[in-house]
Amino acid sequence: MTDLNALTRANAKRWADARLTRNFTAVARRLVAPAAKARYQAVAVKTGVPWAVIAVIHQRESSQDWTGSLAQGDPWDRVSVHVPAGRGPFCSWEEAAIDALVNCAPYAARNKDWSIGGTLAMLERYNGLGYASKGRPSPYIWAGTDQYVSGKYVRDGVYDPNVVDSQLGCAGLLITMMKLDPTIKFAGAAAIAPPVVPKPQPAQAPAAKTPASITNPAKGSIGAVIANILTAILKGK
């Protein structure tokens, strides 16, 4: 049986160490787009699951297809055939999403730990704990980062250590979404500071030149020549 506290700690450490190895920007931009965000927020209000978590589940389960259920990607307007099977039909994507989060394992709506480690552990449970039982980082979470190299369940119960998951993982999506939308925050996740733009320095006025005079003749002038002659005479005394 997987130790969920250990999994939470492991994923928090991986988050702190992670570096992206693929480009997440285009997909993350779609997930935080105002129209999509509003729909995710509507489900978040009903379930207590952060909207950004709902967004990355939607991407992983159905590539953000609004005709696909959040539970497993099956069309929500008919009875689902993949696990969890037998759900639906529903009247809308939102209704199906609420059912997936409230009534289907791992019952994300019951989760109380939305720190970054707890969030990633919940997302891993959403996909299954097979990777954790092998001591391997889940590609569902870490694909596209340096925390994942290879290994994937190619079908139920069949693990191939050499297959590389081509989908983008939840962690990299969240990292990129947080850069695009600073309202997304998780306890324990380092805040993403905006770039520091140096303030323009006021232009310094050139130093005022002392006007030429008898005591300060202009360089190369007759006065300067005479001053040099007098200086030489005085030194010769």
pLDDT per residue as tens, the chain (237 positions): 789 999 999 999 999 999 999 999 999 999 999 999 999 999 999 999 999 999 999 999 999 999 999 999 999 999 999 999 999 999 999 999 999 999 999 999 999 999 999 999 999 999 999 999 999 999 999 999 999 999 999 988 899 999 999 999 999 999 999 999 999 999 877 644 444 444 555 555 555 555 555 555 556 656 555 556 556 565 655
Question: If you count them, how many residues does the chain have?
Answer: 237
Sign of CA dihedral 34, 113, 149, 82: negative
Domain locations in the chain as residue ranges: 4-180, 212-237
CB 54 within 8 A of CB 44: yes
Q: In 3-state terms, what secondary structure has residue 61?
A: helix
Beta bridge partners of 160: 152
Please, is 114 exposed, middle or buried when counting C-beta atoms within 10 Å of its C-beta (0-12, 13-18, 19+)? middle
Q: Whole-prediction pTM value?
A: 0.78
